[in-house]
Chains A and B, each alone.
Chain A
Amino acid sequence: MLGRTLLVLRLVAASLRRRPVEAVVTVVAIAATTTTLTLGLALHGVTDHPYETTRAMTSGPDIVVMPTTASPASGSSGSSGPSGSSGPSGSSGSSGSSGPTISGPGTGSGSHVNLLASLDGLIHAPGVVAHSGPYPVSYPTMRVNGSKVLAVAEGRTTRGAKVDQPYVTAGTWVRAGGVVIERSFAEELNIGVGDRVTLDGRSFPVVGIAVTAAVPPYPYTVTGVAIDNLNNVWSQATGLIWTTKPIARSLATSSVPLSYMLNLKLANPQHASAFIAAHSDGNSLYFESWQDVRRVESQQMLPFQRGLLIGSALLDLLAIASLAVIVGGRLAERTRRVGLLKAVGATPRLVAGALLFEYLTLALLGAALGLLVGWLVAPLIANPGAGLVGSVGAPPVTLSDVGWIVGLAIAVAGLAAWIPSVRAARTSTTSALADSARIPKRRPLLIEAASHLPMQLLLGLRLAARRPRRMVLTLVSVTITMTTIVAVLAIHAHESQAAPIPASVFAIPVNPNTRNTDAVLLVLTVVLVFLSIVNAVVITWATSVDSRQPLGIARALGATTRQVSAGLSTALLIPSLPGVIAGIPLGLLLVKAAGHGSNVTVPSALWLAAVSVGILLAIGGLSSIPARIQARRSPLDALQSEFT
């Protein structure tokens, strides 16, 4: 037993020593695949019902009620919101209009007594089982870190509330003299606990950061707020802060007076819409149901989630292509090696054991590397809506994720060892020793056509024709990469064509949603491009290994190293060219399918040409590395290695 184990270890060590480059490429390919899987698993938690999680953790209200005294719809201010407002249209008021219609909250009609009386009536309405508030709300202008934004300051007690108790993610809850900032608002303005913010000229310390499910996060906490009715100045963005009631009251002004916010919990949350319909008086109260907030949240996260979904699907496809190439690429060589071991008396079990152990070593090494990279990259893209709890506090890569990834690595190792073992067991030892594992396909027309081409193209075309499935994988890989890059270019072209924000608008400095989506697209594109690079190298390597015999013969017959190397790169560029071309319309279709604007903006021809040429150059350049390594081997080595 010990002797056999020692033999297996020696065989594995010898194999790794003999082909170190191939071992490294295998580890990199498996690492790339497991990185993709790590990201996919980490992102799954983010997109998996984050609003519901937040709502449960914060005792989220079923309905939020705010007095509205001068909505654009009611026309009391005599003005309407800015055209082209970027706010989501999902949260509806009692009138059923699209978008929250609070405008100049509390700016005129109705005394505090009347407002509170109307809210008090709702607290005792049938179906209401709990409530918090009404809390005083003011709308101060907040200045911090060089930004000027409109805040919704909600006055709270220092004790917790039964309904809508925001979940503190950093620092503490509201205490005298301090403010707590809603997390997406804080992240956007780069505010941390201990910083100071200025509210209408008064400075306050930030004592905490929290999330809530009561209202949508920044910038849509309350949209379309008129901050200066006289001069028709609007804010498209508002962020929520919590402070003490006295501070909230003190921040009210004559032009933007105090308002209130009431949180209601119903016996049956599903009856929220019916409750609103029954108690809406048309204009004086603005209702927002938990479903409205969820809709805004989901709309806000939609591009992000779509990006993730499509991106992970593309990554999975590329990863599968990588694995298919890596496993397939080693099969031919492995089959001959198994034949050799059988010839010297190794049993099928010993052969399978040696192969399995070798692959297991490489796969576990690759999996560990992939986990590490995935763990480092995941936090960059696993934070779509800072306003939601989502995976807050949970590590992006869990123990079960690790289990899945190691399981995949073991499965890959098993598959890679099992196939050549079975193949070799089925073929006679002499056949396994003498012949190529898979007789290449013969393509008479291509062979004939190639004879009319220069030597590099002749070799490239004939090499490509030998393994058509590998060429299909190349085509798929390049198409996916080009599709993604074109989609990103189209999205950016669309954004750069967007109408500028009017000067009269108190605008969002940067739309965090756009920035989040951009970050996701960037990371996905980088990962996709990296995986494509791995694929290009792996495919060239596999092609060069598989083509040792014909290339060795070509070298013996007088082909130069450069011709052989160029031929190998050409074999990869042949399927890459249609992939690059196909990627252009597919990228535009992807943008259209993802709903990123009904009119897809085609990136400039210059950009498309630059990207196309860049991809082809990158593939040519990268593939030349394994191609040169292979081509520089002595032709004798190539001819003799057929039998070793």
Chain B
Amino acid sequence: MNSNGADFPLVRARGLRKEYGSGEGLVRAVDEIDLDVATGEAVAIMGPSGCGKSTLLHLLGGLDRPTAGELWLAGRRVEKLSERGLAQLRRLDVGFVFQAFHLIDELTAQENVELPALLAGRSPRQARRSARELLEQVGLADRADHLPSALSGGQRQRVAVARALANEPKLVLADEPTGNLDSAATLELLRLFDALHAAGLTLVVVTHDERIAATADRMISMRDGAFVDETRLVGGSRGQLGSLFGVELEV
């Protein structure tokens, strides 16, 4: 397969499989998944807990290696990359947003956002300027010098989003990003994702919240490690977030 074609998707998975254990204890967390995600597309993966959606996300982002199958990201074969190659992939091509935020406790919001840029070898000044802009973009410019412990859950998650965007990744992967947030904070985050999507960012969001899935271009249902259903949402729900949450929104 030619991976350099102009119509080649940003993410392509073929027969992707992830197994844990062996013998009778073998668990197939991801079972022969085929997936294409086009550049600029927003995909929501839904399913009950334990269906393998987070594992799939970890495979897509190079946090874990598949047991079998092929995976391309931006034309590169991910499963064949060395540890160093995977690290580089995570550093430059992928941004992660975790349910538990995973901010470093002793670093301020700004320092947390700077970290990926410093890892990528950018100068401290550049990293700082970029972090400032991103925090401004997520509406937290006035909280830049706060420690995570001094921020609300929604604010922490927005810091995590800013951090995910620090190196202008091709793909942002969000694992239950609203799982620890209340409705208002969820709405704020969805607006942020919506704005990023509108700006052309490719998003893959794992969730079990249908309201969040409804904001995507495509919704995939997963069960027992496999895709069971796929729905294309025409135009996504951009502009309809408020109605989803029963809140009047200024778009």
B124 touches A557 (CB 8 A): no
Chain B, interface size category, equals 20 to 34
Given contacts A560-B84, A639-B98, A639-B102, A455 and B118 within 8 Å (CB-CB): yes
Shortest A91–chain B CB gap in Å is: 66
A558 touches B116 (CB 8 A): yes
Shortest A61–chain B CB gap in Å is: 72
Please indicate the chain B residues that have their CB under 8 angstroms from the CB of A455 in the complex. 118-119, 121
Shortest A152–chain B CB gap in Å is: 73
| Bound Cα distance A441, B107 (Å) | 10
Please indicate the chain A residues that have their CB under 8 angstroms from the CB of B114 in the complex. 451
Shortest A563–chain B CB gap in Å is: 8
Q: Please, which residue of chain A has its CB at the minimum distance from the CB of B119? A: A558
B147 touches A557 (CB 8 A): no
B87 touches A561 (CB 8 A): yes
Q: For chain A, what secondary structure do more than half of its interface residues adopt (helix, strand, loop), or is it mixed?
A: helix
| Bound Cα distance A552, B63 (Å) | 10
Please indicate the chain B residues that have their CB under 8 angstroms from the CB of A639 in the complex. 98, 100, 102
Please indicate the chain A residues that have their CB under 8 angstroms from the CB of B208 in the complex. none
Number of interface residues of A (CB under 8 A): 31
Q: Is A49's CB within 8 Å of the partner chain B?
A: no
**Among A439, A440, A553, A560, contact of B102 (Cβ-Cβ < 8 Å):** A553
| Bound Cα distance A634, B115 (Å) | 20
Shortest B206–chain A CB gap in Å is: 14
**Among A442, A451, A558, contact of B91 (Cβ-Cβ < 8 Å):** A558
**Among B58, B87, B91, B147, contact of A636 (Cβ-Cβ < 8 Å):** B58
B84 touches A562 (CB 8 A): yes
B98 touches A451 (CB 8 A): no
Please indicate the chain B residues that have their CB under 8 angstroms from the CB of A458 in the complex. 118
Interface string of A552-568 (1 = CB under 8 A from B): 11111111111100000
Shortest B240–chain A CB gap in Å is: 32
| Bound Cα distance A466, B115 (Å) | 16
B127 touches A451 (CB 8 A): yes
Q: Is A57's CB within 8 Å of the partner chain B?
A: no
Given contacts A555-B87, A561-B87, A439 and B149 within 8 Å (CB-CB): yes
Please indicate the chain A residues that have their CB under 8 angstroms from the CB of B83 in the complex. 560-561
Please indicate the chain B residues that have their CB under 8 angstroms from the CB of A426 in the complex. none
Q: Is B184's CB within 8 Å of the partner chain A?
A: no
B107 touches A557 (CB 8 A): no
B102 touches A549 (CB 8 A): yes
Interface string of B116-149 (1 = CB under 8 A from A): 1011110010010000000000000000000101
Given contacts A558-B116, A558-B119, A439 and B106 within 8 Å (CB-CB): yes
Q: Please, which residue of chain A has its CB at the minimum distance from the CB of B64? A: A636
Shortest A534–chain B CB gap in Å is: 28
| Bound Cα distance A549, B104 (Å) | 8
A559 touches B106 (CB 8 A): no
**Among B84, B87, B104, B167, contact of A553 (Cβ-Cβ < 8 Å):** B104
Tell me which of A452, A549, A553 has the highest count of chain B C-beta atoms within 10 A of its own C-beta: A553
Q: Is B248's CB within 8 Å of the partner chain A?
A: no
Q: Is B90's CB within 8 Å of the partner chain A?
A: yes
Q: Is A436's CB within 8 Å of the partner chain B?
A: yes
Please indicate the chain A residues that have their CB under 8 angstroms from the CB of B90 in the complex. 555-558
Q: Is A460's CB within 8 Å of the partner chain B?
A: no
| Bound Cα distance A558, B115 (Å) | 10
Please indicate the chain B residues that have their CB under 8 angstroms from the CB of A561 in the complex. 83-84, 87
Shortest B48–chain A CB gap in Å is: 19
A636 touches B118 (CB 8 A): no
Shortest B89–chain A CB gap in Å is: 8
Q: Is A635's CB within 8 Å of the partner chain B?
A: yes
| Bound Cα distance A291, B119 (Å) | 73
Given contacts A442-B106, A634-B64, A636-B64, A451 and B84 within 8 Å (CB-CB): no
B106 touches A556 (CB 8 A): no
| Bound Cα distance A549, B83 (Å) | 19
Please indicate the chain B residues that have their CB under 8 angstroms from the CB of A562 in the complex. 84
A634 touches B106 (CB 8 A): no
Shortest B194–chain A CB gap in Å is: 24
| Bound Cα distance A458, B118 (Å) | 9
| Bound Cα distance A563, B83 (Å) | 12
A554 touches B105 (CB 8 A): no
Shortest B143–chain A CB gap in Å is: 16
| Bound Cα distance A555, B88 (Å) | 10
Please indicate the chain A residues that have their CB under 8 angstroms from the CB of B96 in the complex. 556-557
Shortest B122–chain A CB gap in Å is: 10
Interface residues of B in 197-246 (CB under 8 A from A): none
A440 touches B105 (CB 8 A): yes
Interface residues of A in 516-566 (CB under 8 A from B): 549-550, 552-563
Given contacts A447-B107, A561-B87, A554 and B115 within 8 Å (CB-CB): yes
Tell me which of B87, B116, B149 has the highest count of chain A C-beta atoms within 10 A of its own C-beta: B87
Please indicate the chain B residues that have their CB under 8 angstroms from the CB of A557 in the complex. 90-91, 96, 115-116, 119, 163
Tell me which of A441, A458, A560, A642 has the highest count of chain B C-beta atoms within 10 A of its own C-beta: A560
Given contacts A556-B63, A556-B96, A560-B87, A452 and B119 within 8 Å (CB-CB): no
Shortest B46–chain A CB gap in Å is: 21
| Bound Cα distance A436, B119 (Å) | 24
| Bound Cα distance A36, B92 (Å) | 51
Please indicate the chain A residues that have their CB under 8 angstroms from the CB of B107 in the complex. 442, 447
Please indicate the chain A residues that have their CB under 8 angstroms from the CB of B102 in the complex. 549, 552-553, 556, 639
Shortest B85–chain A CB gap in Å is: 9
Shortest A426–chain B CB gap in Å is: 19
B119 touches A635 (CB 8 A): no
Please indicate the chain A residues that have their CB under 8 angstroms from the CB of B167 in the complex. 558
A550 touches B104 (CB 8 A): yes
Shortest A642–chain B CB gap in Å is: 8
Please indicate the chain A residues that have their CB under 8 angstroms from the CB of B163 in the complex. 557
Q: Please, which residue of chain B has its CB at the minimum distance from the CB of A450? A: B118
Q: Is B79's CB within 8 Å of the partner chain A?
A: no
Tell me which of B63, B91, B114 has the highest count of chain A C-beta atoms within 10 A of its own C-beta: B63
Interface string of B162-194 (1 = CB under 8 A from A): 010001000000000000000000000000000
Interface string of A78-113 (1 = CB under 8 A from B): 000000000000000000000000000000000000
A635 touches B115 (CB 8 A): no
Tell me which of A436, A441, A555, A558 has the highest count of chain B C-beta atoms within 10 A of its own C-beta: A558
Q: Is B111's CB within 8 Å of the partner chain A?
A: yes
B92 touches A442 (CB 8 A): no
Interface residues of B in 68-120 (CB under 8 A from A): 83-84, 87-92, 96, 98, 100, 102-107, 111, 114-116, 118-120
| Bound Cα distance A642, B124 (Å) | 29
Q: Please, which residue of chain B has its CB at the minimum distance from the CB of A558? A: B91
| Bound Cα distance A458, B115 (Å) | 10
Q: Which 3 A-B pairs have the closest CB atoms?
A: A558-B91, A560-B87, A558-B90
List 9 contacting pairs A-B, 8 Å CB cutoff, sorted by A. A439-B105, A442-B147, A447-B111, A556-B96, A557-B119, A558-B87, A558-B167, A560-B87, A562-B84
Measured CB to CB, the residues of B under 8 A from A are: 58, 63-64, 83-84, 87-92, 96, 98, 100, 102-107, 111, 114-116, 118-121, 124, 127, 147, 149, 163, 167
Given A558-B92, A563-B87, A563-B119; 12 other pairs, CB 8 A cutoff: A439-B105, A440-B105, A455-B118, A455-B121, A553-B115, A555-B90, A557-B116, A557-B119, A559-B91, A559-B119, A560-B87, A642-B100
